[in-house]
Structure 1
Amino acid sequence: MTWGDSFLALLVAVLCLIGPGLIVTAPFRFGALARTAVSGLVGVCVVASAATTFGAFGLAFSWWQVLAVTVIGLTLALAVRPAVPRLEPRPDRRVLLLLGMWLLSVLAIAIVMFWRVPIPSRIAQTLDNIFHLSATSAILSGHSASPFAIGGLIDTTGAFTYSPSGWHSFAALVAQTTGVPVAVAFNVLWLAMIAVVWLPGIAWLARTVVPTWAAATIALPLGASFGWYPYGLTTGGALYPSALAHALLPAAVAIVLVAARAVLGERGRVSRARRWTAAVVGVALAGGALAAADPRAIATLFVIAAPFVFWRLVVVLRQAREAAPEELRRARRMLWGSLGAAAVVIVAGIAFGNAAVPLTGHPDDTSDLVAQTAWQSLTQVMMAQSQTGVNGVVTIVAPPLALAVIGGIFMALRRATTRWVVVPYLVLAVLYVLAAGEVGPVSRMLAALWLGDPYRLAAALAIVGVPLATIGIVTLGRLIVPARRAFGAGAAVVAAVIVGVTSTGTLAATGVSEAAGVVFRQPVQASDWAVVSSAQMTFMRDQVSAIVPEDQRVLGDPWDGSALAGVFAGREPVFPHVLGRWDDTRLTLAYSLPSIDETSEVCTALDELRVRYVLYTPGSFGGGDAEGDLFLGLHAAVEAGLFTEVATDGESSLYRIDQCGDLG
């Protein structure tokens, strides 16, 4: 399948992402840009609600469930429409210019990201992607897509788990409705996510921060210009759920800003009750969408939005000093209460981040995390350089983009209404410097909510960097043409295009495109740097799927590619990821398989898991389990010749286990 052949799947991915949101928000008075941005948040909430609700009844995830929840959402929207105020005071202007800039930005991102990825069926050969592919395949095979169930794939002990399943649910929808392979669904979904979630969201956020028609148009090419996002989370580990959450974050931040303005001090014809109701619903929508995509992104939302909320509270307090004493007391209570709540949230967040260790994240000693000096990290922030995640390559500085951000910081500090934007940028920059340096107790503690991962923090920097650069470019336009505001805005748009072209060109030429090519490189034969090879894929499709009955699982070392048996053979693997908390039955197979002739415990475990075949490929991704190989027993049993070989391609082999008889 070529990229051209996948165009229909791309359109379906767009429909899956924002279609439910466009339907649910249809009754409300939104502008086109705000409606599109909010629709991404609504769409994630709709899909997550469908997966959770119907999954609780044991139903396999399907498109009709999303349609049913969408209809319910539309009914509720019609019921509450009279209580919801207009989101934007004026209709969108210069829509054609906005659309043109959007299309150019989408094309620029697609070229930078996939220029060296020749076909859309390539997978990202990274540790995290093993679980993401396996989870999506499991959903397509009938496993629940609920975030309360998907974690059960890698925590089979029966413990309570919450694992965000937003990305996997959308990918399953695309594959289910178009018939494309999971790998193709991942790549077209990524493009659709950037096109209709990230770019509209960052444009709406920029216009919310800088209330001028040109701000949204300027923000679009800037949204393609930072290597930190949208590229870094893919080349630096294929962190798809986190990428979805960061695509949603601009719209989530914008909703919080609009809500804070509505309830903190602004007067108008809309009643206080309506404003508070709309604000609470909006913030809940933002939080719910982020929780479904990646709950850790809520910490980023707090860091970015909290300074604005506190600034609005200070404004309210100042205004209340000229009002009645009761108004002043209420304003003081709100301010101190908010500060106290923020302190509790920060302490709880740090405690949670240090206590919760996800099974799908990077191992502590993983080689893809960055280790550099604080000065190097600080230079990257100031010069808008980005880590590619491959071979330690860092992109070179794009001077126009770096100057736009620096100029934006300077101009934002000069205005009370934008001064707050600098605060989250500085906080995130400090966290990035801590996370990207040598890991120590302080940096580990403070950056724990982001798993100490510099790629997540760099992606958050881009969310604030775009509005700051927008401020800088808008100011530049006014300096170029000071006499005519419209001409100044036009000059700013031209400047934004120049920044976008130079920056994306720099990214493509100095590492990002090459890094993407390396991450998506597909070896012909098994290799210790790749999760799975073309030969293994073919063997699983042609041999494993034909020999192993559909109701049986496949046993294998997940580090050698067998974890993806569900993706390529349609047969559930016993171990669908290299990391996990496994029950005693699975641990018996991992450790004690060589003892199959001496103890009945092994056959009991094989019967319980419905296993009669072992998939084996010598070699292990990344050299195997660095924590001490859990699966040495599998290798020992195969190499001892305990099983019957039924298929081989000279490298991969499928063995039948005859010692335990047939499965009933």
Structure 2
Amino acid sequence: MPVIFVCISLVLVPGAILAFSMGFRRITLLGLAPVLSLALVGVAAVVAPFVGVGWNIWGLIVLCILASAVVWFATNFRQRESNKKSFHHDSWLALGATVIGVASGAFLIGRRIMQLVGAPDNISQRYDNVFQLNAVRHILDTGNGSTLTLGKMAGGQGLGAVYPAVWHDLAALLVQLTGVSIPVAENAVNMTIGAVIWPISIIFLTRVVVGSKPVALIAAGIVSAGLAAFPFLLLVWGPLFPNMLSVAVVPAALAVVIMLCKLADHQERPLRLWLALMLLLPGLAFSHMSGIGALLAFSAPIIAWTVVRYVASLVRAKAPLWKFAVVVVASGAGAVVTLLVWVKLRPGDYSGWRPHQIMGGAVGEVLTNSPMGTRVAWGISILAIVGIFTMVRGRRQIWWLLSYAVAAGLYIVDAAIDPGFIRTFMTGIWYADSNRLAAYLPLFAVVLAALGFNRIVETVVGWWNRGGGAPFELGEMSAAWTKAASGAVVFALLGTLAVATQLGAIQTYIGANKQFYERNTGTSILSDDEYRLLSRIDSEVPADAVIVGNPWNGSSLVYAFADRPVLRYHLSQRKTLQESIVEQKLNIAASDPAVCKAIRELNVRYVLDFGSQYLLNHPDRLNYEGLQGLASSDAVTLVDQEGAAKLYRVKACW
């Protein structure tokens, strides 16, 4: 818990200071704090190598101070009289409801993440986590946490070296500040993303979309914990931790766009909003570039709606033609820039993910909030439908439904259409992976369900106050009793919502997927024995000695766990000729001078044998013939053993 509180401070305090310096207050300040903190972390990590300093907390602090000073003056913050007129303060009631909503979401989500992960030092025993854990160690070792170069660890060059690093930067800071292990830091960051950043961002978006409705704000926090597609899906699939971080702050970025388009009753000075938008974009991009794609896609209907409204106002005012021409030129230029960014954001032609549904089934998954085969979330889906009808009836937020249609459309295309140009063009930014697109659907479902719940509560309380639920006539009740009774009804309904959202779909999902964090299953890559052996290696192996192992059985994680270099930092890392020789012939090194030459050049001195339980049934797992049969090999000698896990020293060649 202390580590989590340190992480919460890292993702709230710097951004809150920056937001305060721009003049934001209350809900807006809280809502912008996480995404602005991520921007400061990402930019500080990129700048640090250019000024010759290693990645640490001081770089973040210095950048926060400098950026806050710049925006302070840029927004004329010291001109108090002019700023008083432009401040928009939410009521204390709305702020209190936001805090309750965030606390509710944090408790419910935190509880589920604890159930999913199982222990503070458990790791996700899946493909991408080998890279994620080792990348944190790489930042600690090199002092370089730049998004521009993190991919070099796994052999990336040029653009291939670019890898979103904010998640790893946060984990590295936690290790530096608290001294915990990398697995503990990993879980602390993920807990903070799911249980803190996500509820804050989605409640902020709810405030902007549906207005300052205390019941809706509390409901948004509760409902944010009830959908498997986010944050839990990305904790399991992949796992996609950087992607998860980016998704968690997309709501805040979208809220800024909505306010800039003047579609919310919550308004701020345009200069502040433009500054906030420009400053938060690095937070999205350096967390994961797909967040920029999501912001573009979901903002398009909102901006188009605003342009149409503006043109309609010009028509009514019989404006001169040049004003229409300006709109056409600006809209065209914006469309071209958006298209170019959209195309350039695509990492490549990923056609490995096949559709898993027919078109009707994909539509059904969207409507019932059950993407990727998860169970139907009936309660939240019904509330969301009520929210849709409320918006249609009010005719004020049709633009939000259009944005929802875009998110749904992207998921449906990826879930139901065969690989080809359409699928690649529309969903290539997300590697044509339906899991990544499914994670955005709760962004809309939570807002709609919160509005729907608010509408139901208003109806029930109105009926109660008219005497429908009172033990005697309304006229006989005091105003104080009426308010107290209404409040009791509201909190009873909120309590019912909290219980209902935690049963069924989410309960089943957590129960079915916690196996991926367990150590001694048929699919895990690290067992308890291997954990124990890894904990001793830093006292048995010199710091500069390279350890070779089959990455598919988890041995590459010795770098993250024990800070000892390995040949293979990730499972899909490209091999050099010398590395291939070692991995395919080390067991015969005593009789082959070519193998000894490669061993000496690479400084390979130890071998980890974690057996034949592999992460995936992938052909590459068999390309390590030289690391098999070591017990009878003259090239190595046994140094340590824990159960079936063994550490050998290479005695040949040295």
| Corresponding position: 1:561 with 2:554 | yes
| Corresponding position: 1:34 with 2:33 | no
SS of the residue corresponding to residue 220 of structure 2 reads helix
CA distance in 2 between counterparts of 1:634 and 1:650 reads 18
| Corresponding position: 1:312 with 2:306 | yes
Q: How far off its partner does 1:38 sit? A: 0.9
SS of the residue corresponding to residue 647 of structure 2 reads strand
Structure 1 residues 446, 203: closer, same or farther in 2, change over 3 A?
same
What does 1:348-427 correspond to in 2, within 5 Å?
A: 349-350=342-343, 352-353=345-346, 355=348, 364=352, 371-387=356-372, 394-395=374-375, 397-427=376-406
Structure 2 residue aligned with 1:503: 501
Structure 2 residue aligned with 1:222: 223
Structure 1 residues 651, 59: closer, same or farther in 2, change over 3 A?
farther
Structure 1 residues 555, 56: closer, same or farther in 2, change over 3 A?
farther
CA distance in 2 between counterparts of 1:59 and 1:553 reads 27
Give the partner amino acid of 1:90: H
Match among 584, 603, 612 for residue 610 of structure 1: 603
CA distance in 2 between counterparts of 1:355 and 1:650 reads 43
CA distance in 2 between counterparts of 1:158 and 1:596 reads 35
Contact 1:476 1:492 in 2 (8 A): no
| Corresponding position: 1:535 with 2:529 | yes
Q: How far off its partner does 1:386 sit? A: 4.5
Structure 1 residue aligned with 2:447: 467
Structure 1 residues 334, 280: closer, same or farther in 2, change over 3 A?
farther
SS of the residue corresponding to residue 115 of structure 1 reads helix
Q: Deviations over 1:186-239 (max 9, x none)?
A: 222222223332111111101101122323223111211222111111123321
Q: How far off its partner does 1:549 sit? A: 0.6
Contact 2:362 2:371 in 1 (8 A): no
CA distance in 2 between counterparts of 1:124 and 1:267 reads 41
| Corresponding position: 1:289 with 2:274 | no
Contact 1:164 1:292 in 2 (8 A): yes
Contact 2:120 2:184 in 1 (8 A): yes
Q: Deviations over 1:588-646 (max 9, x none)?
A: 53456467467766445444443211212221423453357443444478875432333
Structure 1 residues 533, 436: closer, same or farther in 2, change over 3 A?
farther
CA distance in 1 between counterparts of 2:381 and 2:572 reads 39
CA distance in 2 between counterparts of 1:161 and 1:356 reads 18
Contact 1:233 1:243 in 2 (8 A): yes
SS of the residue corresponding to residue 572 of structure 1 reads coil
TM-score by length of 1: 0.86
Structure 1 residue aligned with 2:253: 252
Greater Cα shift, 7-16 or 61-70: 61-70
What does 1:100-249 correspond to in 2, within 5 Å?
A: 100-115=100-115, 117-155=117-155, 160-214=160-214, 215-249=216-250
Structure 1 residue aligned with 2:636: 643
What does 1:516-595 correspond to in 2, within 5 Å?
A: 516-523=513-520, 529-542=523-536, 544-591=537-584, 593=586
Structure 1 residues 321, 585: closer, same or farther in 2, change over 3 A?
farther
Q: Deviations over 1:102-150 (max 9, x none)?
A: 2222111122232354421111111111111111122223341111121
Match among 609, 612, 615 for residue 622 of structure 1: 615
CA distance in 1 between counterparts of 2:571 and 2:632 reads 21
Q: Deviations over 1:452-508 (max 9, x none)?
A: 222211111111112222232233334334598998999777645533321222234
Structure 1 residues 466, 567: closer, same or farther in 2, change over 3 A?
same
Structure 1 residues 57, 616: closer, same or farther in 2, change over 3 A?
farther
Q: Deviations over 1:65-86 (max 9, x none)?
A: 2222222223223322316968
SS of the residue corresponding to residue 390 of structure 2 reads helix
CA distance in 2 between counterparts of 1:559 and 1:438 reads 32
CA distance in 1 between counterparts of 2:266 and 2:39 reads 31
Contact 1:148 1:160 in 2 (8 A): no
SS of the residue corresponding to residue 316 of structure 2 reads coil
CA distance in 2 between counterparts of 1:267 and 1:238 reads 36
Give the partner amino acid of 1:385: S
CA distance in 2 between counterparts of 1:198 and 1:375 reads 30
Structure 2 residue aligned with 1:73: 67
Contact 2:234 2:244 in 1 (8 A): yes
Structure 1 residues 646, 469: closer, same or farther in 2, change over 3 A?
same
Give the partner amino acid of 2:524: A
SS of the residue corresponding to residue 655 of structure 1 reads strand
* Percent of paired sites with the same residue: 23
Give the partner amino acid of 2:259: V
Structure 2 residue aligned with 1:657: 650
Structure 1 residues 506, 74: closer, same or farther in 2, change over 3 A?
same
Give the partner amino acid of 1:9: V
Q: How far off its partner does 1:284 sit? A: 1.8
CA distance in 1 between counterparts of 2:248 and 2:73 reads 29
Higher helix proportion, which one?
A: 2
Structure 1 residues 409, 531: closer, same or farther in 2, change over 3 A?
same
CA distance in 1 between counterparts of 2:414 and 2:15 reads 36
Q: Report how many aligned residue pairs link the two structures.
A: 628
CA distance in 1 between counterparts of 2:64 and 2:344 reads 37
What does 1:420-499 correspond to in 2, within 5 Å?
A: 420-437=399-416, 439-441=418-420, 442-481=422-461, 495=493, 497-499=495-497
Contact 2:381 2:445 in 1 (8 A): no
Larger radius of gyration between Structure 1 and Structure 2: 2
RMSD: 3.3
Give the partner amino acid of 1:31: R
Greater Cα shift, 215-224 or 130-139: 215-224
Give the partner amino acid of 2:171: A
For structure 1, which runs of at least 5 residues remain unmatched after alignment?
1-6, 358-362
| Corresponding position: 1:321 with 2:341 | no
Q: Deviations over 1:292-325 (max 9, x none)?
A: 1111121111121111111111111111223464
CA distance in 2 between counterparts of 1:219 and 1:147 reads 33
Q: How far off its partner does 1:26 sit? A: 2.9
Contact 2:634 2:652 in 1 (8 A): no
Structure 2 residue aligned with 1:60: 54
Give the partner amino acid of 1:446: M
SS of the residue corresponding to residue 26 of structure 1 reads helix
CA distance in 2 between counterparts of 1:549 and 1:118 reads 33
SS of the residue corresponding to residue 575 of structure 1 reads coil
CA distance in 2 between counterparts of 1:586 and 1:492 reads 65
